[in-house]
Amino acid sequence: MSAEGARGWPRLAAAEGARVRALVVAALLLVLPALIRGRGETQPAPGPRCPHGAVRTERGVACAPTPGAPLPPLAAWWMGTSLDLNRASARDLMVVPGVGPALAARIVADREARGPFTTVADVERVKGIGPALAARLARVVEVRQR
């Protein structure tokens, strides 16, 4: 190593040390509030919210369907079964292609005002649904009698 290189080494080491100290201080400033909050009483995580028709169980399974209880409409639809027009909420209906929030609300309002649908074609009585949309809906919805 040359004489000039040897003289520059302490300055380089000091600069590197200052940089490391600055990084350590920054890391402590980021982590320290979390460490302070973490002291004291620890509270268990809140339990899961079981949907209607489900029961809480122990040993790692949070919710299990009540035997014989039907699946919620949206869960059934995602599992490949048709969505029941007479049970589906407006939120459930919004996942159906071609049905937005306003149309879903009109379908539910019509069902509540006029009673349940008897066939999928009955959905045409809802304002904004014609034969073409009813035909598309018929591929993914059904009408089950209660």
Q: How far apart are CA 95 and CA 82, in angstroms?
A: 12
122 C-beta neighbours (distance < 10 Å), count: 19
Q: Is residue 49 part of a domain?
A: no
Q: Is residue 119 part of a domain?
A: yes
Q: Is residue 132 part of a domain?
A: yes
Q: Is residue 21 part of a domain?
A: yes
Domain match, 123 and 77 both: yes
Domain match, 31 and 71 both: no
Are the beta carbons of 140 and 83 closer than 8 angstroms? yes
Q: Is residue 44 part of a domain?
A: no
39 C-beta neighbours (distance < 10 Å), count: 7
**Rg over CA atoms, the chain:** 31
Range of the domain at 27: 1-38
Of the candidates 51, 73, 75, 76, the residue with the CA atom closest to the CA atom of residue 64: 51
Domain match, 128 and 89 both: yes
CA distances from 60 to 56, 64, 122 (A): 10, 11, 44
**The model scores a pTM over 0.75:** no
Q: Is residue 54 part of a domain?
A: no
Q: Is residue 2 part of a domain?
A: yes
Of the candidates 67, 43, 42, the residue with the CA atom closest to the CA atom of residue 54: 67
Domain match, 79 and 119 both: yes
CATH number at residue 125: 1.10.150.320
What is the DSSP-derived secondary structure letter of residue 120?
G
**Total domains in the fold of the chain:** 2
Are the beta carbons of 63 and 55 closer than 8 angstroms? yes
Half-sphere CA count of 65, side-chain side, radius 13 A: 8
Supply the pLDDT for residue 146. 61
Domain match, 92 and 28 both: no
Give the length of the chain: 146
Q: How far apart are CA 131 and CA 47, in angstroms?
A: 46
Amino acid letter, residue 80: G
Supply the pLDDT for residue 61. 46
Q: Is residue 18 part of a domain?
A: yes
Domain match, 92 and 138 both: yes
Supply the pLDDT for residue 48. 55
β-pairing verdict for 83-84 and 54-56: unpaired
Domain match, 74 and 131 both: yes
Q: In the chain, which residues have pLDDT < 50? A: 60-62
Domain match, 78 and 130 both: yes
Domain match, 74 and 134 both: yes
